[in-house]
């Protein structure tokens, strides 16, 4: 049974808006040209492949449903009835042939949970290191002779297929090789399909299309995209092969797989980065351009508004809002069917509060740029000719500040992903039951004082977060260069 959470609806609305903008931009050359420049950039294409991988994981984790449980038959078996009750037995036979009534669990899962069922179900007792076959902490172990010694018990799932734990290294090497072979085979199929499409578009034979891609003679740097895709596909297949029998990133304090937590945290990072932008962008763009273009009283009011809001400590405002939400959810617990819906509301509310407190910086930048643009000759000429203010803003002001909006939004996206970790550290971030990199770091913080150190939760969250933030920042630079009208583009 499908379940649509509030953040799910907003995510798909954002995807729909992106597709609509793509269709609209494809019919207007002044919008299509900058994105064509992005598509010709090797850095832009490579980072776009990485971001697409994260988006795919986030979308799969945004398709929620109630899993179906054992069906209940509404009929009664006629054999259990007395032999002399023929009419009742006949009615029982008819009811027994009725279709079973489907029942659904109250648990809320996603398609990503369905794909990662093995990782989700294989839970250990407590900490275990990456690729370990034993627990990380010593426990009393009872031998066959009744003696009890302290040692490292074997894991229930990690490496349980090994008859001799000393064969672990060879087994990991063989499974890694198998994953590489399968990944390259899958990548080869993708390459064959892409070469066929490129060759058909260029009106060439298959071999000529493959040669053009390999030599970099295509308009889009497909060679860079395919190399990046090869790395990701091979990593996915190797991880899938190893994660089937090992905990490749170890387990946490309650024995949950850290690799599973890292993948589940992707959606939280994307939601905070994108939905917060969706909240803050309209106010920042509209108020910033209005303040700079109109000036006077409008400028004074808008400056007073964002100066007052900036003077309020953001952390205190977020903490107050989250505490108010917690009180509301506690007093109205009957409105939430599951813990997932409760945690989703807190996530959405956090995005709204972050958006309300983060639009002032972009508003200041747009005000300053609009003050300069309104004095340009083409804006003065349009004003003298009687062009409406809305048309001047849409045609002359907004296109010339779009690069500022784009680079600020992507940099804010990176900052918001990192801010979630800080807010979770002081317990005003996402719900503790929500998988997020911030919660992973917060839980790992308590284990850094152990001897030996439990480092893998912190390292996993860092690698996944660093990869996403780095790809987003590099892609933002490419988009900024393409959208900035002041830069001279050499064909």
Report how far residue 398's alpha carbon sits from residue 418's, in angstroms, rounded to the nearest whole number.
Answer: 29
- For residue 290, pLDDT beyond 60: yes
| Cis bond before residue 452 (omega within 30° of 0) | yes
Q: Does 411 or 176 have the greater pLDDT score?
A: 176
Lowest mean pLDDT among 94-103, 162-171, 293-302, 381-390: 94-103
Given this model, what pLDDT does residue 453 score?
84
> Does pLDDT of 54 surpass 80?
yes
Q: What span, in angstroms and rounded, lies between the C-alpha atoms of 211 and 461? A: 40
Concatenated DSSP letters for 79-92? Answer: GGS-TT-HHHHHHH
Residue 102 pLDDT: 67
Q: Are 241 and 179 in contact (CB under 8 A)?
A: yes
Phi, psi (degrees; rounded to nearest 5) at 341: -65, -35
Average pLDDT over residues 339-350: 86
pLDDT mean over 55-67: 90
Q: Which long-range contacts (CB under 8 A, 24 or more apart) does 52-60 make?
A: 53/232, 54/266, 54/270, 54/468, 54/471, 55/270, 57/112, 57/263, 57/266, 57/267, 58/11, 58/266, 58/267, 58/270, 58/271, 59/11, 59/15, 60/110, 60/111, 60/112, 60/115
Whole-angstrom CA distances from 6 to 64, 66, 111, 429 are 11, 16, 17, 18
pLDDT in tens, 272-283: 888 888 888 888
What pLDDT does 486 receive? Answer: 63
Find residue 29's DSSP bridge partners: none
Residue 485: its pLDDT value, please?
Answer: 62
**Hey, which of 35-49, 104-118, 332-346, 442-456 has the most confident mean pLDDT?**
35-49
Query: Which of 429, 422, 418 minimizes the C-alpha distance to 321?
Result: 429
> pLDDT tens for residues 223-256?
999 999 999 999 999 999 999 999 999 998 888 9
Token digits of residue 482: 């393409």
Q: Between β-strands 109-110 and 139-142, what pairing exists: parallel, antiparallel or unpaired?
A: unpaired
How does residue 463 score in pLDDT terms, banded at 50, 70 and 90? very high
DSSP H or E segment with residue 371: helix 360-373
- The answer to whether 430 and 436 are in contact (CB under 8 A) is yes
Contact 292, 374 (CB under 8 A): yes
* HSE toward the beta carbon, residue 354, CA cutoff 13 A: 27
Does residue 412 contact residue 362 with C-beta atoms inside 8 Å? Answer: yes
Q: Is 390 exposed, middle or buried (0-12, 13-18, 19+ CB in 10 A)?
A: exposed
Whole-angstrom Cα distance, residue 277 to residue 78? Answer: 63
476, exposed or middle or buried, with CB in 10 Å at 0-12, 13-18, 19+? buried
**CA–CA distance, 424 with 443 (Å, rounded to integer):** 10
Question: Average pLDDT over the chain, rounded to whole?
Answer: 84
Extract the tokens encoding 294. Answer: 């109109």
The percent of residues above 90 in pLDDT, for the chain, comes to 23
Q: What is the three-class DSSP state of 109?
A: strand
The Cα–Cα gap between 56 and 270 comes to: 11
Confidence band (pLDDT; 50, 70, 90) for 401? confident
At residue 234, the pLDDT reads: 95
Angle at CA 241, nearest 5°, toward 112 and 62?
10
Answer whether 268's CB lies under 8 Å from 110's CB. no
Structure token digits, residue 56 = 């795919």
pTM: 0.84
- Non-local (6+) Cβ contacts of 485 within 8 A are 399, 400, 403
Q: Is residue 72 within 8 Å of residue 101, measured between CB atoms?
A: yes
pLDDT digits (tens, 9 = 90+) for 133-180: 888 888 877 777 777 778 888 888 888 888 888 888 899 999 999 999
Token pair of 195 as six digits: 């070469």
Q: What is the rounded CA–CA span in Å between residue 357 and residue 361? A: 9
88: pLDDT strictly greater than 60: no
Which of 24-38, 312-326, 368-382, 477-491 is predicted least confidently? 477-491
pLDDT at 79 exceeding the cut of 50: no
Average pLDDT over residues 254-260: 90
SS3 (DSSP) at 211: helix
Lowest average pLDDT, out of 111-120, 314-323, 366-375, goes to: 314-323
């Amino acid at each position: 049974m499908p379940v649509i959470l509030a953040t799910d609806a907003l995510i798909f609305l954002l995807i729909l808006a992106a597709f609509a903008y793509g269709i609209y931009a494809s019919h207007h050359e002044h919008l299509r040209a900058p994105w064509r420049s992005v598509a010709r950039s090797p850095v832009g294409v490579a980072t776009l492949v990485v971001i697409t991988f994260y988006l795919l994981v986030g979308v799969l984790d945004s398709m929620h449903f109630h899993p179906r449980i054992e069906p209940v038959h509404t009929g009664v078996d006629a054999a259990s009835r007395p032999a002399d009750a023929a009419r009742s037995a006949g009615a029982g036979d008819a009811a027994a042939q009725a279709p079973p009534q489907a029942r659904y669990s109250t648990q809320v899962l996603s398609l990503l949970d369905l794909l990662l069922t093995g990782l989700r179900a294989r839970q250990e007792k407590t900490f275990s290191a990456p690729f370990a076959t034993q627990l990380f902490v010593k426990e009393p172990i009872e031998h066959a002779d009744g003696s009890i010694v302290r040692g490292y018990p074997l894991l229930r799932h990690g490496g349980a297929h090994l008859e001799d734990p000393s064969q672990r290294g060879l087994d990991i090497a063989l499974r890694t090789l198998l994953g590489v072979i399968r990944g390259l085979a899958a990548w080869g199929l993708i390459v064959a399909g892409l070469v066929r499409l490129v060759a058909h578009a260029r009106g060439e034979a298959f071999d000529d299309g493959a040669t053009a891609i390999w030599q970099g003679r295509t308009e889009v740097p497909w060679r860079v995209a395919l190399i990046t895709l090869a790395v990701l596909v091979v990593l996915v297949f190797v991880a899938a092969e190893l994660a089937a029998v090992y905990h490749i990133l170890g387990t946490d304090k309650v024995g949950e797989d850290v690799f599973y937590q890292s993948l589940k945290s992707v959606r939280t990072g994307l939601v905070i980065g994108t939905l917060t932008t969706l909240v803050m962008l309209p106010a920042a763009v509209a108020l910033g351009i209005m303040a700079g273009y109109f000036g006077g009283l409008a400028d004074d009011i808008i400056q007073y508004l964002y100066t007052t809001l900036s003077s309020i400590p953001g952390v205190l405002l977020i903490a107050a809002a989250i505490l108010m939400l917690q009180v509301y959810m506690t007093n109205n617990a009957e409105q939430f069917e599951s813990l997932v819906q409760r945690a989703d509301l807190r996530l959405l509310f956090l995005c709204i509060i972050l958006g309300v407190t983060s639009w002032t910086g972009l508003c200041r930048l747009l005000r300053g740029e609009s003050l300069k643009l309104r004095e340009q000759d083409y804006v003065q000429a349009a004003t003298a000719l009687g062009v409406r203010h809305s048309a001047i803003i849409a045609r002359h002001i907004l296109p010339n500040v779009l690069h500022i909006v784009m680079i600020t939004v992507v940099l804010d996206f990176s900052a918001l992903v990192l801010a979630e970790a800080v807010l979770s550290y002081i317990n005003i971030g996402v719900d503790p039951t929500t998988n997020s990199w911030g919660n992973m770091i917060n839980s790992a913080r308590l284990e850094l004082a152990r001897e030996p150190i439990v480092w893998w939760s912190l390292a996993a969250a860092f690698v996944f977060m660093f990869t996403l933030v780095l790809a987003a920042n590099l892609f933002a630079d490419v988009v900024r260069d393409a959208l900035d009208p002041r830069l001279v583009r050499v064909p």
